[in-house]
Amino acid sequence: QVTLRESGPALVKPTQTLTLTCTFSGFSLSTSGMCVSWIRQPPGKALEWLARIDWDDDKYYSTSLKTRLTISKDTSKNQVVLTMTNMDPVDTATYYCARTPLDYDSSGYYFDYWGQGTLVTVSS
């Protein structure tokens, strides 16, 4: 049974750094082709992909947020961590982590299991 759970602060102040942890079970991030992504959704708005980390520690970031994001993993703890610097009120959103299997045929990927999400509010 695959599960993912996001954890982190519910409230951060503008200019602060956000650190979110995704703790997962039911799969291994050391398995070839397996990845974990972070996705966010501002209230009432669409989904936005943020970052992905692969089983071989390759990392990919949203072009628009690349300078503010860092993704890392601790395979032994089954955890993936996302940090986002210089938080702003527009970053208020529900942040999801999701299991991301690679599709070797097409080099595409998708999100087949999601955490329940964690709402992060940016306000002074």
- For residues 43 and 105, give the distance between their C-alpha atoms in angstroms, rounded to a whole number: 35
- For residues 83 and 27, give the distance between their C-alpha atoms in angstroms, rounded to a whole number: 23
Binding another protein (rule: CB under 8 A), the pick from 63, 67, 76, 124 is: 63
Asked if 108 touches another protein (CB under 8 A), the answer is yes
Binding another protein (rule: CB under 8 A), the pick from 73, 82, 111, 122 is: 111
Yes or no: say if 118 and 8 are a contact pair by the CB < 8 Å rule: yes
Binding another protein (rule: CB under 8 A), the pick from 24, 27, 49, 95 is: 49
Asked if 107 touches another protein (CB under 8 A), the answer is yes
Name, in order, each residue with C-beta under 8 angstroms of 26's C-beta and a sequence gap of 6 or more. Answer: 1, 2, 3, 113
Yes or no: say if 99 and 109 are a contact pair by the CB < 8 Å rule: no
51 to each of 19, 83, 123, how far by Cα in Å?
Answer: 14, 10, 24
Asked if 10 touches another protein (CB under 8 A), the answer is no
Q: Which stretch binds another protein (CB under 8 A): 12-20, 67-75, 78-86, 101-109?
A: 101-109
Asked if 38 touches another protein (CB under 8 A), the answer is no
Name the residues that contact another protein, by CB under 8 A: 37, 39, 46-49, 52, 60, 62-63, 96, 103, 106-112, 114-117
